[in-house]
Amino acid sequence: LLKKIWVITMFPEMFGAFLDYGVVGSSLRGERGDMPELRLVKISDYTEKGFKGIDSSPYGGGAGMVMRADVMEKALLEGIFSQYQEPDKELIVVATGPRGDRFDQSSARELSCEKRDIVFVCGRYEGIDERFLDKYVHRHLSLGDFILSGGELACMSYIDATVRLLKGAVANENSIVEESFENDLLEYPHYTRPADCCDQEVPKVLRSGDHKAIKKWRDTKQQEMTMKYRPDLLKDIK
Ligand SMILES: C[S@@+](CC[C@H](N)C(=O)[O-])C[C@H]1O[C@@H](n2cnc3c(N)ncnc32)[C@H](O)[C@@H]1O
């Protein structure tokens, strides 16, 4: 399925730590079976003036700088499209930005089932010249209703949530199926050793060994937790 995840960014170095740690890091390093490869395209490699060539002042005036469409286009065409026979069919281009659909667990599921390779585009400054977005972007995804200084953190969040859903990324696949947002519910609470801590004991049922009773307790807790913390999710249950 998904073979490559591309990122167009001014700061590929930001992805260093992301690749170094945890289940997603080791998946993307190819240590967990058949996982997509992360390929980083540095925008300044596609201008003659390096970093100085990436942005320019906005037509019409106003604050801040805008990333140039011609530079972004060059990075996309030369850095990525050139490696595909039919880039229009083989790639989906996703821009990070506040205008996008709010990224959530179903977006992660959709991306994890994607048959095309994915290109994430990370903006900086005031964003990217609209003409590039118009021509090349299939989908916009937002991390939430706030403004980040760049798309990289959003992009890492999208990749993290997507890759951990791929077969083999997480050792125990049940842990993915039972997580929050599956069936529009939050997860039940977890406890581990010691049995007595923070002035509280671990609920007895969890130490009973009675799997039926444990399941029932967890189902009830899922409902209670969702009602308490995210009642809006319950409204989505048909
Ligand atoms: C400072 S922001 C630009 C904000 C833009 N001027 C606006 O008002 O919508 C720079 C870049 O950060 C990224 N970004 C900002 N907020 C984001 C969000 N909520 N979700 C995803 N990416 C975001 C986008 O790539 C954006 O191009």
Ligand 1 centroid to Cα of residue 124, in Å, is 7
How many angstroms is it from 25 CA to the middle of ligand 1? 25
Q: Is 26 exposed, middle or buried (0-12, 13-18, 19+ CB in 10 A)?
A: middle
Q: What is the pLDDT along the chain (238 residues), one digit of tens a residue?
A: 889 999 999 999 999 999 999 999 999 999 998 999 999 999 999 999 999 999 999 999 999 999 999 999 999 999 999 999 999 999 999 999 999 999 999 999 999 999 999 999 999 999 999 999 999 999 999 999 999 999 999 999 999 999 999 998 988 877 777 788 888 999 999 999 999 999 999 999 999 999 999 999 999 999 999 999 999 999 866 5
186 is written with which tokens? 């939050």
pLDDT confidence of residue 237? 63
Instruction: Please give the full DSSP string across 115-171, using - where no structure is assigned.
Output: SSEEEEE---TT-B-HHHHHHH-SEEEESSSS--S-SHHHHHHHHHHHHTTSTTTSS
148 CB near ligand 1 (under 6 Å): yes
Residue identified by tokens 């125990």 is 172
Among protein residues, the one whose CA lies closest to atom 5 of ligand 1: 126
30 lines ligand 1 (CB under 6 A): no
Neighbours of 65 (CB within 10 A): 14
Structure tokens at 205: 């049922």
CA of 15 to the centre of ligand 1 (A): 18
The model's pTM: 0.96
The Å distance, Cα 102 to ligand 1 centre, comes to 13
Question: Token match 């706030």: residue?
Answer: 146
Cβ within 8 Å of residue 14, ≥6 positions away: 152, 153, 156
What pLDDT is stored for residue 238 in this prediction?
Answer: 56
CA 66 and chain centroid, separation = 24
CA of 88 from ligand 1 middle (Å) equals 25
Taking alpha carbons only, the member of 121, 112, 52, 113 closest to residue 81 is 121
Probe target for ligand 1 pocket from 9, 96, 139, with the most ligand atoms within 8 Å of CB? 96
For ligand 1, atom 19, the nearest C-alpha belongs to 98
Cβ distance 56 to 65 under 8 Å?
yes
Q: Return the sign of the alpha-carbon dihedral for residues 169, 174, 175, 178.
A: positive
Determine the distance separating the centroid of ligand 1 and the alpha carbon of 223, expressed in angstroms: 35
Helix 152-163 with 105-112: angle, nearest 10 deg? 70
